[in-house]
Structure 1
Amino acid sequence: MEYRELPHGGEKIGVIGLGGAQLGATPHDEAVATYVEAVRAGVNLMDLAAGHAPLFSALADALRELGPHAREGLLFQVHYGADYRTPTSDYGWTARLEDMRRSVAWELDTLGTDYIDFAFIHCIDEGKDLDAFVRSGALDHLRDLRDQGVVRHLGLSTHSPELANRVLDLGEIDLMMFSVNPVYDYGEGDYGLGTSAERQALYQRCESEGVGITVMKAFAGGQLLDAAQSPFGRALTRCQCLQYALDTPGVVCVVPGVRDRADLRELLGFFDASAAEKDYSVLSGLAPEGVAGRCVYCNHCAPCPVGINVGLVNKYYDLALVGDVLAADHYAKLDRHAGDCVGCGHCNSRCPFGVDQVVRMREIAARFGA
């Protein structure tokens, strides 16, 4: 497992976590075994927006099998708005505070825990839903729980850049669950909300403000893995999709759903995959024209003959453009700067997204003065 640090809080989060959409429908013993194997492999972030309430009893039994201190090493994303009426019910959604409190109290009691690592404003994609959440008193309730130490961080799950920015403006959240994959980032698919530029600006804002992103729908609900369903007309691999998400600014973790240990092992195979197996540069021939020429910091252009880290130079430039006051300082600390570019064109010839990095280096050098 590889880990990334949450900017606000410093928690070390495994770059692959577990989503909860499917595991609750798995036979109990297999679900328990899947959780146990995941934790022993270093997975430490569990998203608890369960598709089916039996997920909670499976995780509880896994914690008992793992030992009395297992909970201390794990991070739970608990969603205020995901509603479970009975221990066997399917997922429901609510904006009523009393329903949220009842459901979360049952979840915590089942899991045998008295604190929440990340309390999420759950699945808000429209302004009216956020307004209803606030009117219900749920946001104030989460603030109170944070002040009491019951909640360690506030979070948000959404598919909408517009709504995400509205919540970021509140200055309350430390983690955001967002749908990231190349199809959605190109404005395609059911949850491909916002333009490519709006989505990239959101990722850069999260990076600059220290709000981590946990990624849902990295495979677009499985569409990207099937050539017949893929909007690209070509299948990508799990490794390509995972690497794409992890190369996105702000991302700390990808949380795909799994059905069993076989799915889990396939995901964890990412860590044994070669760089060639993770290479998603094939997207350069599939992306719409409107997203050509945009640096995604993938560093496929490396190595630079004079040692410039082209991806980081571009990232700090883009962060500076959206108002990150620390970007210039981070840029200044790099060993090589845009002004060191000799214009050889090596990066241009290797960029899968058609970025003219020679021109970009001149722009960046002018911005930062070096």
Structure 2
Amino acid sequence: MMQYRKLPHGDEQIGVLGMGSSAIGQAGEKEIEATVALALENGVNYFDMASADAAPFAAYGNAVASAGMRQKVYFQIHFGAEYSTGKYGWTLDLDTIKRSVDWQLTRLKTDYIDFGFIHCIDEAEDYAKARAAGTIDYLLDLKRQGVVRHIGMSSHTPAVADQVLDTGILDMLMFSINPAYDYQKGEYGLGEVDQRMALYRRCEAQGVGISVMKAFAAGQLLDAQRSPFGLALTRYQCLQYALDRPGVLTVLPGVRDRRDLQALLGFFDAPAGERDYSVLGGVAPKAAEGVCTYCNHCQPCPMGLDVGLINKYYDLARMGDELAKEHYRTLEKHASDCVACGHCDGRCPFHVHQMQRMQQIAAWFGE
């Protein structure tokens, strides 16, 4: 049922559907434990611990310990989120961060951190302060000790994410991905359309996994009255959209209870039509037109080309990803096998001229 993707900078196999903890605190300890137990039973193994309050931590720790699953579970713990008041708070103070991390580990009943995240760095100034305060050095030291297995960062800002990617310290990036933000709609729709896609491609090329937050744009995309597109998408369309972005390993929707989780797990049994987000082609901005999103709505190709994958490997290879070049060369069908029948051009919701692009790709690979 669950599908897994490998962390490029490690051996971890991460479930494509994880669990966010921002909304579960109000469910009560028993329901939180039951929800985590249900998640574990269904192969969910990645949990983000940026919660709205302190309630989930002990419940998560109890559920995972009771199931004897600690070695198979990955916690994403944020260095900068703190819960001394019982509610979520954000801090750049290193001493406060250390106390908060110790508090979280105690309640989660663990002595190591799978993914230690520099928390909520949306401004270049925030990263500079975190570095000056010693948070980055502290994380690196914990990684050397083996207490932290991987280092990540959460952000909503492509330019800041690029700045930290330049340092080479990241194994994972938590980023807000959904069609509204990618098309510059909403509070966190930061960065140009092509800048956001370039960030996702860069992460994949550098082997930095992406864990996705705000896949539903805080629920706005699920409500036609609040959606910036004037139409409602389903949870499954949003999940598929995020999972189709380059570099994405897992999507972490906020779960309120078992009912929420059970509905999300239905994604794996849903037919392709229920996950198809090609309706976005009619509302995409001009900046998004002509850009392949690897959605494969153009399939099936009469000649058997995997058009989305060919485009993806080409885009990554042009960024210097040598592995993408090798993956392309091992494909059964290549861009040079295109016979320019026009089937894909006619079906592409984003108006990509795939026949022309296949010629470009074949020339680039020297076919």
1:61 shift after superposition = 2.2
1:273 shift after superposition = 0.8
Deviation string, structure 1 residues 56-96 (Cα, Å, up to 9, x no partner): 01112212432xx221110000000001114xx11000001
In structure 1, the residue matched to 2:45 is: 44
In structure 1, the residue matched to 2:200 is: 203
| Distance in 2 of aligned mates of 1:277 and 1:204 | 26
| Distance in 2 of aligned mates of 1:54 and 1:239 | 28
Q: Is the 8 A contact 1:81 1:95 kept in 2?
A: yes
Q: Is the 8 A contact 2:171 2:208 kept in 1?
A: yes
| Distance in 2 of aligned mates of 1:257 and 1:141 | 29
In structure 1, the residue matched to 2:332 is: 335
Per mean C-alpha deviation after superposition, the further-off stretch among 316-325 and 192-201 is 316-325
| Distance in 2 of aligned mates of 1:128 and 1:267 | 37
Q: Is the 8 A contact 1:20 1:49 kept in 2?
A: yes
TM-score by length of 1: 0.97
In structure 1, the residue matched to 2:241 is: 244
Deviation string, structure 1 residues 231-257 (Cα, Å, up to 9, x no partner): 000000000000000111110100000
Q: Is the 8 A contact 1:180 1:215 kept in 2?
A: yes
1:273 counterpart letter in structure 2: A
2:244 counterpart letter in structure 1: D
5+ residue gaps, structure 2, are: none
Within 5 Å, give how 1:146-185 maps onto structure 2.
146-185=143-182
Q: Is the 8 A contact 1:215 1:254 kept in 2?
A: yes
1:34 shift after superposition = 0.8
| Distance in 2 of aligned mates of 1:350 and 1:265 | 33
Q: Is the 8 A contact 1:76 1:116 kept in 2?
A: yes
Q: Is the 8 A contact 2:65 2:109 kept in 1?
A: no
Match status 1:369 vs 2:360: no
In structure 2, the residue matched to 1:212 is: 209
1:321 alignment partner, one of 307, 318, 323: 318
In structure 2, the residue matched to 1:85 is: 84
1:350 shift after superposition = 1.2
Deviation string, structure 1 residues 273-319 (Cα, Å, up to 9, x no partner): 11110011111111112211110111111121222111111111111
1:29 counterpart letter in structure 2: K
Within 5 Å, give how 1:8-87 maps onto structure 2.
8-66=9-67, 69-86=68-85
5+ residue gaps, structure 1, are: none
Deviation string, structure 1 residues 82-116 (Cα, Å, up to 9, x no partner): 01114xx1100000110000000011011110000
1:331 shift after superposition = 1.7
In structure 2, the residue matched to 1:352 is: 349
2:238 counterpart letter in structure 1: C
1:201 shift after superposition = 0.2
TM-score by length of 2: 0.98
In structure 1, the residue matched to 2:114 is: 117
1:91 counterpart letter in structure 2: Y
Structure 1 runs of 4+ off > 3 angstroms?
none
Q: Is the 8 A contact 1:161 1:202 kept in 2?
A: yes
| Distance in 2 of aligned mates of 1:306 and 1:266 | 37
Deviation string, structure 1 residues 311-362 (Cα, Å, up to 9, x no partner): 1111111112223233322222222111111111011111111111001011
| Distance in 1 of aligned mates of 2:181 and 2:210 | 15
In structure 2, the residue matched to 1:5 is: 6
Count of aligned positions: 366
| Distance in 2 of aligned mates of 1:58 and 1:112 | 10
Q: Is the 8 A contact 2:62 2:109 kept in 1?
A: no
Match status 1:94 vs 2:91: yes
Between the aligned residues of both structures, percent identity stands at: 58
Deviation string, structure 1 residues 131-165 (Cα, Å, up to 9, x no partner): 01000111001001000000000001001110111
1:326 aligned counterpart, secondary structure? helix
Match status 1:288 vs 2:275: no
